[in-house]
Amino acid sequence: MNALRRHGARILASLLPVALVVASVLGTWNRPLIDRLDNLLYDVRLRATLPGTLDPRIVIVDVDDPSLQQFGQWPWSRDRLAALTTELMQRQQVAVLGFDVLFAEADRSSGLEVLRQMAHDAFQGQVGFAEQVEQLSSQLDHDAAFAAALAGRPVALGFYFTQSAVPRASGKLPAPALPPAVWQDANVGATRWNGFVGNLASLAEAAPVAGFLNVVYDDRQDVDGVVRSVPLIARFDGGEAAPGTYESLALAVHGLAAGAPTTRPSIAPVFTPPGADGRRTLEALMLATRSGPLRVPVDTRGSVRVPFRGPGGPHGGSFRYVSAADVLRGALAPGELKGKIVLVGSSAPGLDDLRTTPVGTGFAGVEVHANIVSGLLDDRLVGAPDYAPGYELVTVLLAGLLLAFGLSVSSAPRAVLIALATAAVLVGLDTWLYLEAGLVLPLAAALIMVGLAFVFNMSWGYFVESRSSRSLAHLFGTYVPPQLVEEMRDNPGRYSMRAENRELTVMFCDMRGFTRLAEQMTPEALQAFLNDFFSRMTEIISAHRGTIDKYMGDCVMAFWGAPVEMADHARLAVAAAIEMAAAVPGLGGAARADGAPPIQVAIGIGLNTGVMSVGDMGSAVRRSYTVVGDAVNLASRLEGLGPTYGVQIVASEATARAADGVAWQELDLVRVKGKDRPVRIFTPVPMARGADADAAAELSDWVGFLSAYRAQDWLQAEAKLQPLLASGVKKVLYRLYAQRVASFRLLPKDPQWDGATRFETK
């Protein structure tokens, strides 16, 4: 409860997107974004669950490009279509034949009408001409030949509904499947039309079974022009034909294939119980088939989701495609299509019957009908139930309340897991209902709510509750390693940019031979190398909890002990220096990736521990978190002494004393610029495993040499130095002192000499 009270405002902020999404679910405003996302999610789910198998019961006779090349452009003469029909019905013995084609105009390709007109006009007086024309009419009347091929056979033709201000009608419609009275108490029922383009009366009477070819884009389901659902039924308001409800071509073909032996199946609408206004809503169609009643889920407009089997086309693997040219040439074996449901259509781009679907573009319209017939035969149709809006509202509210409280009292990583888990549960539930119950339920609104709730919650925590820690990260994030910033966030009140005096350890790291390196490399290669160099040095400093002060040309300045206090700041700085020195040779070899010899790269490091001023310093234009003071200057001076002694790391006596667990070798007693008193300087000696005794003996001999050296006992000093020179270890340092001893032996002893070496170069 304390956590809830502390995060009350954050919980309310998380509930705001829940309220917004609930308002959209309740229809307060249009929701095109949500609808488009629902479509996208449906498409993804559909493609992921495609059967991907061939339906052997349905064959598509394709008026494809080879057919058009062989038999001429479309439309073909009706005698050729009669031959196609006769071949399919007699020789191939197909079970049902459906035409995804409209035959609205008479066939004039035979010239019969011209001959009859000539008999009536120019050859009216020619004896026997008119009789001869009528004798030839049985051969030249292609429409009659096509009608004869259709008569008495299980064939379904197609027609088209239209909608215009002035109703237009041509051709003939079949008998309606349902009378107008069935929609008396219904809210919507089906799409409504006031005109049609039907088939020639002779053809419509020969094949009384027909279905409409319209593909209507639903206002919400297909707002992007993608065919996801098509109407199974449509309402015609009257005019020259009787009003009523008509079935689609797919439903008509299925009726012929699955109907009773003597009659086609009846269609009965299934409505929801009456609502508060006494109106009912269409939710399904009940089909009476020879195998029993079939319930087909539809939306309120009588549309069904297309149960796609695969990507479509002759090579899509869902249905067998047979070229119409092969059928007409008799290339198929007799009875090869026996018992099949055959749909005649076209995949030729020039005939403009290609659609965009969730499973691919350029999808032949005839295959859309084929997928619906296949889904009806398998009872493999999915639909959105009438309670879908209520389901959407409940999921949004439950998930929103869970997130509002769960995210507000959790850490950021746990909040991410909660949000992801909530989204996964919503997706899993939606997918399970789709696969097991055939339900298409909305998901986008709930997922959008999850995303918004997470963003709002995290934003509130970031911009409001974490203001102090964010300010701290902003102030110190550039200088301080991330792990230190996280420590500072636990108690941000302890840290500020205010200047203060504190004992710290400061480091200056400079690249040796940078000028020579710049002369030997191209600007691009030099830039890449410097970036690599600074990145590696910064990684090591950060890994040892150091604070980057600044980069100066080829030099890096860092310090330890601020802003986070640490008792072992000297030890950490020395460990970082040793690792940096060990890492540099590898960078030098990588600098010549072009195949040239590796460049010898080395660094000089100066370390000093002492009291210095640390804080935000600079001008009104530019400021930075830095350290200043005499102790800082000394570290800078020590960095330049390394080449003199042949070492990479030079540390002051204060650092050597403060860094526990490190073996040191004293280098000298020096006077540097800006310091009146001499300073003892040291370099760390990494102890190799198994060589501790030899290294300790060498350091002991070196201490004895320095004692004789500073006592001006040159003979003793020379004796102590000889074994060290012979070993060859640290030869620069030892040869330096050998030269000094040789020089001092020629001079008288100086009673004022303290053994210090003066350096004025820096």
pLDDT: which is higher, 503 or 476: 503
pLDDT band at 80 (very low <50, low <70, confident <90, very high): very high
Q: Please write the tens of the pLDDT for every residue from 654-708.
A: 999 999 888 999 999 998 877 778 999 999 987 654 457 777 888 889 999 999 9
Task: Report d(CA 679, CA 652) in Å as an integer.
Answer: 7
Task: Report d(CA 235, CA 176) in Å as an integer.
Answer: 9
User: Got the DSSP string for 167-183?
Assistant: --EESB----SB-GGGG
CA nearest to 189, candidates 200, 203, 198, 178: 178
Handedness of CA 346, 351, 353, 355 (dihedral sign): positive
User: Got the DSSP string for 434-500?
Assistant: HHHH-B----HHHHHHHHHHHHHHHHHIIIIITHHHHHHHHHHTTTS-HHHHHHHHHSGGG--S--E
Contact (CB, 8 A) for 296 and 269: no
Contact (CB, 8 A) for 368 and 355: yes
Task: Report d(CA 511, CA 587) in Å as an integer.
Answer: 12
What was the pLDDT predicted at 262? 45
Give 505's DSSP letter.
E
Average pLDDT for residues 435-439, to the nearest whole number? 91
Average pLDDT for residues 709-729, to the nearest whole number? 87
The amino acid at residue 759 is F
Tell me how far CA of residue 142 lies from CA of 203, 328, 594, in angstroms: 11, 16, 81
Report residue 312 as tokens: 């479509």
Q: Please write the tens of the pLDDT for every residue from 308-357.
A: 999 999 999 999 999 999 999 999 999 999 999 999 999 988 888 888 99
CA nearest to 220, candidates 445, 20, 381: 445
Per DSSP, what are the bridge partners of residue 726? none
Cβ within 8 Å of residue 83, ≥6 positions away: 149, 328
CA nearest to 654, candidates 638, 674, 673, 676: 638
**Is the bond preceding residue 75 a cis peptide, omega within 30 degrees?**
yes
- The greatest distance separating any two alpha carbons of the chain, rounded to the nearest whole angstrom, comes to 159
Contact (CB, 8 A) for 237 and 183: no
Cβ within 8 Å of residue 276, ≥6 positions away: none
Least confident range of 4-8, 454-458, 466-470: 466-470
- Looking up tokens 């439950």 gives 398
CA nearest to 308, candidates 359, 354, 232: 359
Task: Report d(CA 203, CA 105) in Å as an integer.
Answer: 11
Instruction: Spell out a b/e string for 392-411, using b for 16 or more CB atoms within 10 Å of the CB, else e.
Output: bbebbbebbebbbbbbbebe
Residue 225, phi-psi category: left (phi > 0), alpha (psi -120 to 50), beta (remainder)? left
Give 429's DSSP letter.
H
CA nearest to 69, candidates 363, 365, 322, 350: 350
Q: Which helix (H) or strand (E) holds 15?
A: helix 8-25
Contact (CB, 8 A) for 669 and 754: yes
pLDDT band at 716 (very low <50, low <70, confident <90, very high): very high
Task: Report d(CA 299, CA 231) in Å as an integer.
Answer: 9
Number of other residues whose CB lies within 10 A of the CB of residue 379? 12
The amino acid at residue 567 is A
Average pLDDT for residues 442-462, to the nearest whole number? 89
* Average of per-residue pLDDT values in the chain: 84
pLDDT: which is higher, 262 or 663: 663
Contact (CB, 8 A) for 458 and 465: no
SS3 call for 314? coil
Residue 474 has pLDDT above 70, yes or no: no
Contact (CB, 8 A) for 678 and 758: no
Specify the pTM: 0.61
Handedness of CA 213, 217, 221, 226 (dihedral sign): positive
